[in-house]
A = this chain, B = another copy of it.
């Protein structure tokens, strides 16, 4: 079977039915995400960024795979829950709420904002409903307000001692502004893209060590500290395909070439030669990372890597990219995919054994698996492979 068919079949016949059948809260609205491998909901809290991601996925399926009414309905029902319960009335998006929508955890996490912004932006694009547009635009303003201190008042760092900036914000903005399309003025989109790509290439990327750092000083200098030495290869690879897309859209061939080279460097460094797979975290100087989960293998890291290398191959014809795509495909398909069908497993120990029996949880929802399968099916269709 061709790659394009493998990916589309897995998306439409395995992964999406799982979320359609087991995640909908038909009583209160919104989605359950904590679902085990018996398809049973084991926790009913609702995590706003995962709610928003599922809204985005079903809207995107409706837009790009098939105009199925039920997909749009699922997306819009999720949006209704988010609109009513996801924020404090001023588009400050909570981290989590109870199944009935009562707020649990404060709006400390910028990802609750970025994915809500993206979800409502996509629904506006499909439906032209001004209400969705307003929520997306108001949320974007909040993101811009918080961009100098994304953790807001929950930031525990004392200002002035070691002021580091974090890779997550420019990375996700690359994706958000791509997604928002016409919702944002074209000049502003180019400006933000240039700023983010510049920061990533010239501040977060360490051209000597050939790695992307999670945290650097505001001028890009290295901080010799746990935060400064931290590497998250999956983050880097995900950002590289965001930049490849921006490079294609804004016709910046140098962005494409550089992001492909950086991606190859990241995976060379992040691949576990002994037990296969890509590490979750590493210390850039080879010390012990503080993250005890550092050597585990996570589903999203490998799926983002697959997109990155197949997209790199499409844009450049690089054999190295295609070889990495194949190598990671083999690992991913045999280790994360559930041969009994449905959504994939997410968390493996270093040796590939399952760490958790969940299909969805507090940090894993209806997002990376279906998004990757969709994008991979689209790229491989264009490549006719």
Contacts and interface: CB of A to CB of B under 8 A. Distances in A.
B355 A292 contact: yes
A158 B158 CA distance: 24
A375 B131 CA distance: 66
Contacts of A290: 361-363
Interface stretch (A99-107, A182-190, A242-250, A330-338): A99-107
Contacts of A293: 292-293
Interface stretch (A72-80, A149-157, A310-318): A149-157
A153 B152 CA distance: 12
A105 B156 contact: yes
A165 to B, nearest CB: 16
A102 B161 contact: yes
B156 A288 contact: no
Nearest to A45: B225
Given A347-B292, A355-B292, A156 B287 contact: no
Contacts of A226: 43, 45, 362
Nearest to A162: B104
A113 to B, nearest CB: 15
A108 interface: yes
B288 A161 contact: no
Nearest to A361: B288
Contacts of A45: 225-226
Contact of A154 (B102, B154, B347): B154
A155 B246 CA distance: 38
**Which one of A156, A285, A363 has the highest number of Cβ atoms from chain B below 10 Å of its Cβ?**
A156
Number of copies: 2
A104 B161 contact: yes
Contacts of A287: 34, 36, 42-43, 358
A202 interface: no
A156 B45 CA distance: 15
Interface in A120-165: 153-154, 156-158, 161-162
A207 B338 CA distance: 38
A355 B292 CA distance: 8
A169 B79 CA distance: 40
A95 interface: yes
**Which one of A287, A293, A296, A357 has the highest number of Cβ atoms from chain B below 10 Å of its Cβ?**
A287
Nearest to A283: B42
Contacts of A355: 292, 295
Contacts of A235: none
Contacts of A105: 156-158
A235 B156 CA distance: 25
A356 interface: yes
Interface string A19-46: 0000000000000001010000011010
A361 B292 CA distance: 12
A98 interface: yes
Interface string A271-295: 0000000000000010110101101
A99 B277 CA distance: 37
Contacts of A362: 226, 290
Given A106-B156, A362-B226, A162 B36 contact: no
21 contacts: A34-B287, A42-B287, A43-B226, A43-B287, A45-B226, A103-B158, A103-B161, A104-B157, A104-B161, A105-B156, A105-B157, A106-B156, A106-B158, A153-B153, A154-B154, A287-B358, A288-B358, A290-B361, A290-B363, A292-B296, A349-B349
10 tightest CB-CB pairs across the interface, nearest first?
A292-B293, A288-B356, A42-B287, A288-B358, A106-B156, A103-B158, A102-B161, A290-B362, A105-B156, A104-B161
